Protein backbone atom coordinates (compact mmCIF):
# COMPACT_ATOMS: atom_id res chain seq x y z
CA UNK A 1 0.00 0.00 0.00
CA UNK A 2 2.87 2.36 0.74
CA UNK A 3 3.56 2.43 -3.04
CA UNK A 4 0.11 3.95 -3.59
CA UNK A 5 0.51 7.12 -1.48
CA UNK A 6 4.05 7.64 -2.82
CA UNK A 7 2.57 7.29 -6.29
CA UNK A 8 3.29 4.06 -8.15
CA UNK A 9 6.83 3.95 -9.48
CA UNK A 10 7.33 2.25 -12.80
CA UNK A 11 8.94 -1.16 -12.61
CA UNK A 12 8.33 -4.49 -10.88
CA UNK A 13 7.22 -5.00 -7.30
CA UNK A 14 7.56 -8.38 -5.57
CA UNK A 15 4.54 -9.44 -3.49
CA UNK A 16 3.36 -12.59 -1.74
CA UNK A 17 -0.21 -13.51 -2.67
CA UNK A 18 -2.84 -15.17 -0.49
CA UNK A 19 -1.52 -18.63 -1.38
CA UNK A 20 1.94 -17.62 -0.20
CA UNK A 21 3.22 -17.45 -3.81
CA UNK A 22 5.64 -14.64 -4.78
CA UNK A 23 4.10 -12.55 -7.56
CA UNK A 24 5.53 -9.74 -9.64
CA UNK A 25 3.42 -6.61 -10.02
CA UNK A 26 4.06 -4.11 -12.80
CA UNK A 27 3.78 -0.56 -11.50
CA UNK A 28 3.11 2.05 -14.20
CA UNK A 29 3.76 5.79 -13.90
CA UNK A 30 0.68 7.93 -13.72
CA UNK A 31 -0.38 11.57 -13.38
CA UNK A 32 0.01 11.34 -9.60
CA UNK A 33 3.75 10.67 -9.97
CA UNK A 34 4.39 14.19 -11.29
CA UNK A 35 4.09 17.79 -10.14
CA UNK A 36 2.96 19.77 -13.17
CA UNK A 37 4.39 23.25 -13.70
CA UNK A 38 4.31 25.98 -16.36
CA UNK A 39 3.11 25.55 -19.90
CA UNK A 40 6.08 25.20 -22.26
CA UNK A 41 4.00 25.45 -25.42
CA UNK A 42 0.80 24.61 -27.23
CA UNK A 43 0.28 22.48 -30.33
CA UNK A 44 -2.82 22.02 -32.45
CA UNK A 45 -3.82 18.98 -30.40
CA UNK A 46 -1.56 19.25 -27.41
CA UNK A 47 -0.30 21.22 -24.46
CA UNK A 48 3.27 20.69 -23.30
CA UNK A 49 3.83 21.21 -19.58
CA UNK A 50 6.96 21.33 -17.48
CA UNK A 51 6.78 18.52 -14.88
CA UNK A 52 8.85 17.10 -12.04
CA UNK A 53 8.86 13.45 -11.02
CA UNK A 54 7.82 13.52 -7.35
CA UNK A 55 10.13 10.69 -6.36
CA UNK A 56 13.27 11.32 -8.40
CA UNK A 57 12.79 15.14 -8.77
CA UNK A 58 13.84 14.73 -12.41
CA UNK A 59 12.33 17.31 -14.77
CA UNK A 60 10.41 16.39 -17.93
CA UNK A 61 8.27 17.91 -20.65
CA UNK A 62 4.89 16.20 -20.58
CA UNK A 63 2.81 16.47 -23.74
CA UNK A 64 -0.87 16.22 -22.85
CA UNK A 65 -3.45 15.42 -25.51
CA UNK A 66 -7.20 15.65 -25.06
CA UNK A 67 -8.76 12.34 -26.14
CA UNK A 68 -12.01 13.81 -27.39
CA UNK A 69 -10.18 16.42 -29.47
CA UNK A 70 -7.86 13.76 -30.93
CA UNK A 71 -10.76 11.58 -31.92
CA UNK A 72 -12.83 14.48 -33.29
CA UNK A 73 -9.88 15.68 -35.39
CA UNK A 74 -9.14 12.10 -36.54
CA UNK A 75 -5.57 12.27 -35.20
CA UNK A 76 -5.52 8.90 -33.41
CA UNK A 77 -3.21 7.47 -36.11
CA UNK A 78 -0.71 10.32 -35.69
CA UNK A 79 -0.60 9.97 -31.93
CA UNK A 80 0.07 6.25 -32.17
CA UNK A 81 2.70 6.79 -34.89
CA UNK A 82 4.42 9.35 -32.64
CA UNK A 83 4.44 6.85 -29.78
CA UNK A 84 5.65 3.91 -31.90
CA UNK A 85 8.32 6.02 -33.63
CA UNK A 86 9.67 7.55 -30.41
CA UNK A 87 9.77 4.06 -28.88
CA UNK A 88 12.11 3.01 -31.69
CA UNK A 89 14.41 6.01 -31.30
CA UNK A 90 15.49 5.76 -27.69
CA UNK A 91 19.29 5.69 -27.84
CA UNK A 92 20.26 9.01 -29.42
CA UNK A 93 21.13 12.27 -27.62
CA UNK A 94 19.82 14.32 -30.57
CA UNK A 95 16.29 12.94 -30.41
CA UNK A 96 13.73 13.84 -27.77
CA UNK A 97 13.44 10.72 -25.66
CA UNK A 98 10.04 9.26 -24.69
CA UNK A 99 10.25 7.86 -21.13
CA UNK A 100 6.65 6.84 -20.43
CA UNK A 101 3.18 7.10 -21.86
CA UNK A 102 0.01 6.81 -19.85
CA UNK A 103 -3.58 7.97 -20.00
CA UNK A 104 -6.48 8.87 -17.75
CA UNK A 105 -10.14 9.21 -18.63
CA UNK A 106 -9.63 12.56 -20.37
CA UNK A 107 -6.09 12.72 -21.70
CA UNK A 108 -3.06 10.95 -23.13
CA UNK A 109 0.37 11.76 -21.71
CA UNK A 110 3.84 11.60 -23.32
CA UNK A 111 6.66 12.01 -20.78
CA UNK A 112 9.54 13.46 -22.81
CA UNK A 113 13.05 14.91 -22.43
CA UNK A 114 12.80 18.54 -21.37
CA UNK A 115 14.33 20.89 -23.96
CA UNK A 116 14.82 24.04 -21.87
CA UNK A 117 15.99 26.41 -24.58
CA UNK A 118 13.06 26.20 -26.96
CA UNK A 119 13.21 25.95 -30.74
CA UNK A 120 16.20 26.50 -33.02
CA UNK A 121 13.91 28.73 -35.08
CA UNK A 122 13.48 31.11 -32.12
CA UNK A 123 17.24 31.39 -31.63
CA UNK A 124 17.79 31.94 -35.36
CA UNK A 125 15.17 34.71 -35.41
CA UNK A 126 16.94 36.42 -32.51
CA UNK A 127 20.38 36.14 -34.17
CA UNK A 128 19.24 36.92 -37.70
CA UNK A 129 21.81 34.52 -39.15
CA UNK A 130 24.35 32.05 -37.72
CA UNK A 131 28.06 32.28 -38.52
CA UNK A 132 29.76 29.29 -40.15
CA UNK A 133 31.04 27.79 -36.88
CA UNK A 134 27.59 27.78 -35.27
CA UNK A 135 25.96 26.52 -38.49
CA UNK A 136 28.52 23.70 -38.68
CA UNK A 137 27.89 22.63 -35.06
CA UNK A 138 24.07 22.71 -35.23
CA UNK A 139 23.80 21.11 -38.66
CA UNK A 140 26.30 18.40 -37.64
CA UNK A 141 24.13 17.50 -34.63
CA UNK A 142 20.97 17.53 -36.76
CA UNK A 143 22.66 15.35 -39.41
CA UNK A 144 23.90 12.88 -36.78
CA UNK A 145 20.33 12.50 -35.46
CA UNK A 146 18.95 12.07 -39.02
CA UNK A 147 21.57 9.35 -39.65
CA UNK A 148 20.43 7.49 -36.52
CA UNK A 149 16.75 7.79 -37.52
CA UNK A 150 17.43 6.54 -41.03
CA UNK A 151 19.49 3.61 -39.74
CA UNK A 152 16.42 2.60 -37.74
CA UNK A 153 14.17 2.86 -40.77
CA UNK A 154 12.47 6.10 -39.72
CA UNK A 155 11.92 9.09 -42.05
CA UNK A 156 10.97 12.26 -40.14
CA UNK A 157 9.21 13.95 -43.13
CA UNK A 158 8.76 17.33 -41.40
CA UNK A 159 12.27 18.50 -40.46
CA UNK A 160 12.44 22.24 -39.93
CA UNK A 161 13.97 24.67 -37.36
CA UNK A 162 10.72 24.64 -35.35
CA UNK A 163 11.13 20.90 -34.79
CA UNK A 164 14.74 21.21 -33.66
CA UNK A 165 14.59 21.95 -29.94
CA UNK A 166 17.53 22.96 -27.74
CA UNK A 167 18.34 21.49 -24.31
CA UNK A 168 20.01 23.20 -21.33
CA UNK A 169 23.45 22.72 -22.97
CA UNK A 170 22.16 24.27 -26.19
CA UNK A 171 22.41 20.84 -27.83
CA UNK A 172 19.90 19.64 -30.43
CA UNK A 173 16.80 17.58 -29.61
CA UNK A 174 14.71 16.72 -32.65
CA UNK A 175 10.98 16.37 -31.95
CA UNK A 176 7.57 15.99 -33.64
CA UNK A 177 7.47 12.44 -34.96
CA UNK A 178 3.70 12.22 -35.40
CA UNK A 179 4.12 12.51 -39.19
CA UNK A 180 7.16 10.25 -39.42
CA UNK A 181 7.21 7.21 -41.67
CA UNK A 182 8.47 3.85 -40.43
CA UNK A 183 9.92 2.03 -43.47
CA UNK A 184 8.87 -1.54 -44.05
CA UNK A 185 5.64 -1.17 -42.11
CA UNK A 186 2.31 -1.80 -43.86
CA UNK A 187 1.04 1.79 -44.32
CA UNK A 188 -2.57 0.68 -43.84
CA UNK A 189 -2.10 -0.88 -40.43
CA UNK A 190 1.36 0.61 -39.78
CA UNK A 191 2.27 -2.92 -38.70
CA UNK A 192 5.06 -5.16 -40.01
CA UNK A 193 2.63 -7.19 -42.13
CA UNK A 194 3.29 -8.07 -45.82
CA UNK A 195 3.14 -5.19 -48.31
CA UNK A 196 1.04 -6.05 -51.34
CA UNK A 197 1.20 -3.99 -54.56
CA UNK A 198 -1.66 -1.67 -53.63
CA UNK A 199 0.09 -0.63 -50.41
CA UNK A 200 3.35 0.25 -52.18
CA UNK A 201 1.97 2.74 -54.65
CA UNK A 202 -0.64 4.10 -52.21
CA UNK A 203 -0.07 7.85 -52.29
CA UNK A 204 1.02 9.13 -48.88
CA UNK A 205 -1.47 11.81 -48.01
CA UNK A 206 0.91 13.61 -45.65
CA UNK A 207 2.90 16.60 -46.94
CA UNK A 208 5.26 18.45 -44.58
CA UNK A 209 5.66 22.19 -44.13
CA UNK A 210 5.65 24.01 -47.47
CA UNK A 211 9.11 25.64 -47.31
CA UNK A 212 10.85 22.32 -46.54
CA UNK A 213 8.85 19.88 -48.69
CA UNK A 214 10.96 17.92 -51.19
CA UNK A 215 10.05 17.96 -54.91
CA UNK A 216 9.39 14.18 -54.99
CA UNK A 217 6.73 14.59 -52.31
CA UNK A 218 4.99 17.16 -54.55
CA UNK A 219 5.31 15.19 -57.77
CA UNK A 220 5.01 11.50 -56.96
CA UNK A 221 3.78 11.68 -53.38
CA UNK A 222 6.41 9.36 -51.94
CA UNK A 223 8.85 10.43 -49.23
CA UNK A 224 12.16 8.64 -48.92
CA UNK A 225 15.21 9.10 -46.71
CA UNK A 226 16.57 11.61 -49.24
CA UNK A 227 13.48 13.76 -48.56
CA UNK A 228 14.88 14.42 -45.08
CA UNK A 229 18.21 15.37 -46.69
CA UNK A 230 16.43 17.92 -48.91
CA UNK A 231 14.95 19.48 -45.75
CA UNK A 232 18.43 19.33 -44.19
CA UNK A 233 19.78 21.32 -47.18
CA UNK A 234 17.07 23.91 -46.61
CA UNK A 235 18.09 24.17 -42.94
CA UNK A 236 21.82 24.65 -43.77
CA UNK A 237 20.84 27.44 -46.17
CA UNK A 238 18.44 29.04 -43.69
CA UNK A 239 20.91 29.19 -40.76
CA UNK A 240 23.45 31.05 -42.92
CA UNK A 241 21.02 33.17 -44.94
CA UNK A 242 18.46 33.89 -42.21
CA UNK A 243 15.60 32.68 -44.40
CA UNK A 244 14.66 29.39 -46.15
CA UNK A 245 15.66 29.01 -49.84
CA UNK A 246 12.10 28.56 -51.11
CA UNK A 247 9.68 31.09 -49.71
CA UNK A 248 6.82 32.77 -51.58
CA UNK A 249 3.72 34.68 -50.55
CA UNK A 250 1.60 31.51 -50.59
CA UNK A 251 2.09 27.74 -50.45
CA UNK A 252 1.30 27.14 -54.11
CA UNK A 253 3.98 29.60 -55.27
CA UNK A 254 6.43 28.09 -52.76
CA UNK A 255 5.76 24.66 -54.29
CA UNK A 256 6.32 26.15 -57.78
CA UNK A 257 9.74 27.45 -56.67
CA UNK A 258 10.65 24.02 -55.24
CA UNK A 259 9.78 21.93 -58.28
CA UNK A 260 11.45 24.58 -60.47
CA UNK A 261 14.51 24.66 -58.19
CA UNK A 262 14.01 28.40 -58.22
CA UNK A 263 16.31 29.80 -55.50
CA UNK A 264 19.40 32.01 -55.29
CA UNK A 265 22.18 32.55 -52.74
CA UNK A 266 22.53 35.95 -51.09
CA UNK A 267 25.83 37.82 -51.64
CA UNK A 268 28.46 36.70 -49.19
CA UNK A 269 26.99 33.23 -48.74
CA UNK A 270 30.08 31.12 -47.89
CA UNK A 271 31.21 29.24 -51.05
CA UNK A 272 31.93 25.88 -49.34
CA UNK A 273 28.50 25.90 -47.68
CA UNK A 274 27.02 26.90 -51.04
CA UNK A 275 28.60 23.83 -52.65
CA UNK A 276 27.06 21.58 -49.96
CA UNK A 277 23.60 23.14 -50.35
CA UNK A 278 23.80 22.82 -54.16
CA UNK A 279 24.51 19.08 -53.78
CA UNK A 280 21.52 18.63 -51.43
CA UNK A 281 18.90 20.77 -53.20
CA UNK A 282 18.82 18.43 -56.21
CA UNK A 283 15.45 17.56 -57.75
CA UNK A 284 16.24 13.88 -58.29
CA UNK A 285 16.42 12.26 -54.80
CA UNK A 286 18.78 9.59 -56.18
CA UNK A 287 21.30 12.30 -57.12
CA UNK A 288 21.23 14.05 -53.72
CA UNK A 289 24.43 13.77 -51.67
CA UNK A 290 24.06 10.63 -49.50
CA UNK A 291 24.66 10.69 -45.72
CA UNK A 292 28.33 9.59 -45.64
CA UNK A 293 29.29 12.04 -48.40
CA UNK A 294 27.63 14.91 -46.50
CA UNK A 295 29.63 14.09 -43.37
CA UNK A 296 32.80 14.04 -45.52
CA UNK A 297 31.99 17.29 -47.30
CA UNK A 298 34.55 20.09 -46.94
CA UNK A 299 31.98 22.15 -44.99
CA UNK A 300 32.33 19.63 -42.14
CA UNK A 301 36.16 19.50 -42.27
CA UNK A 302 37.51 19.31 -38.67
CA UNK A 303 33.97 18.49 -37.42
CA UNK A 304 34.09 15.60 -34.94
CA UNK A 305 31.29 13.01 -35.27
CA UNK A 306 29.94 10.20 -33.07
CA UNK A 307 29.74 10.47 -29.28
CA UNK A 308 32.34 13.27 -29.10
CA UNK A 309 30.04 15.53 -31.14
CA UNK A 310 27.53 15.34 -28.25
CA UNK A 311 30.18 16.16 -25.64
CA UNK A 312 31.38 19.18 -27.63
CA UNK A 313 30.56 22.52 -26.00
CA UNK A 314 27.97 24.41 -28.09
CA UNK A 315 29.70 27.42 -29.72
CA UNK A 316 28.61 30.80 -28.33
CA UNK A 317 26.04 32.30 -30.70
CA UNK A 318 27.37 35.61 -32.01
Ligand X SMILES: Nc1ncnc2c1ncn2[C@@H]1O[C@H](COP(=O)(O)OP(=O)(O)OP(=O)(O)O)[C@@H](O)[C@H]1O
Ligand Y SMILES: O=C(O)C[C@H](Cc1nc2cc(Cl)cc(Cl)c2[nH]1)c1ccc(Cl)cc1
What is the set of active-site residues?
A: 158
> Of the candidates 112, 64, 121, which has an alpha carbon nearest to the alpha carbon of residue 243?
121
> Of the candidates 117, 118, 103, 111, which has an alpha carbon nearest to the alpha carbon of residue 61?
111
Q: Which stretch binds ligand Y (CB under 6 A): 39-47, 65-73, 129-137, 188-196?
A: 65-73
Residues in the chain: 318
Task: Choose, by CB under 6 A, the member of 48, 120, 149, 155 that binds ligand X.
Answer: 48
Q: Which is nearer to ligand X, 144 or 158 (CB)?
A: 158
Chain-centre distance for alpha carbon 36: 24
Q: How crowded is residue 173: how many other Cβ atoms within 10 Å of its Cβ?
A: 25
Task: Choose, by CB under 6 A, the member of 67, 88, 221, 297 that binds ligand Y.
Answer: 67
Task: Choose, by CB under 6 A, the member of 83, 88, 221, 279 that binds ligand Y.
Answer: 83
Task: Choose, by CB under 6 A, the member of 40, 51, 79, 224 that binds ligand Y.
Answer: 79
Q: Which is nearer to ligand X, 61 or 140 (CB)?
A: 61
Which residue has the closest beta carbon to ligand X?
43
Task: Choose, by CB under 6 A, the member of 39, 80, 151, 168 that binds ligand Y.
Answer: 80
Q: DSSP per residue over 10-33, as a string? A: SEEEEEE-TTS-EEEEEE---GGG
Query: CA–CA distance from 7 to each of 147, 240, 317 (Å)?
Result: 38, 48, 42
Query: CA 61, CA 51: separation in Å to the nearest integer?
Result: 6
Contact between 34 and ligand Y per CB under 6 A: no
Query: CA 175, CA 94: separation in Å to the nearest integer?
Result: 9
Contact between 210 and ligand X per CB under 6 A: no
Q: How crowded is residue 222: how many other Cβ atoms within 10 Å of its Cβ?
A: 16
Q: Could you tell me how many residues of this chain bind ligand X (CB under 6 A)?
A: 20
Among ligand Y, ligand X, none, what binds residue 70 when CB lies within 5 to 8 Å by partner kind? ligand Y
**Shortest reach from residue 114's CB to ligand X, in Å:** 5
**Shortest reach from residue 199's CB to ligand X, in Å:** 26
Query: CA–CA distance from 317 to each of 114, 118, 148, 170, 273 (Å)?
Result: 21, 15, 26, 10, 18
Name residues contacting ligand Y, limited to 89-118 (CB under 6 A).
Answer: 101, 103, 108-110
Query: CA 161, CA 52: separation in Å to the nearest integer?
Result: 27
**Shortest reach from residue 262's CB to ligand X, in Å:** 27
Q: Where do contacts with ligand X occur on this chain (CB under 6 A)?
A: 40-46, 48, 61, 63, 96, 112-115, 118-119, 165, 175-176
Amino acid sequence: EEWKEKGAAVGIRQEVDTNGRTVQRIMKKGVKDFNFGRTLGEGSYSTVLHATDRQTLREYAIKVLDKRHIIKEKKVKYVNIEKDTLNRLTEHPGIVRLYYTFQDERSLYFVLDLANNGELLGVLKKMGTFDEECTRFYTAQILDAIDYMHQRGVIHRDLKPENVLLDSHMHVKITDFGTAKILGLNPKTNSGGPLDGSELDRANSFVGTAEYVSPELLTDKNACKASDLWAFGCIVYQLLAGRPPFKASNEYQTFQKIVGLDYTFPDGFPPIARDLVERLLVLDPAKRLPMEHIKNHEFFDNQIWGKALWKQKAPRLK
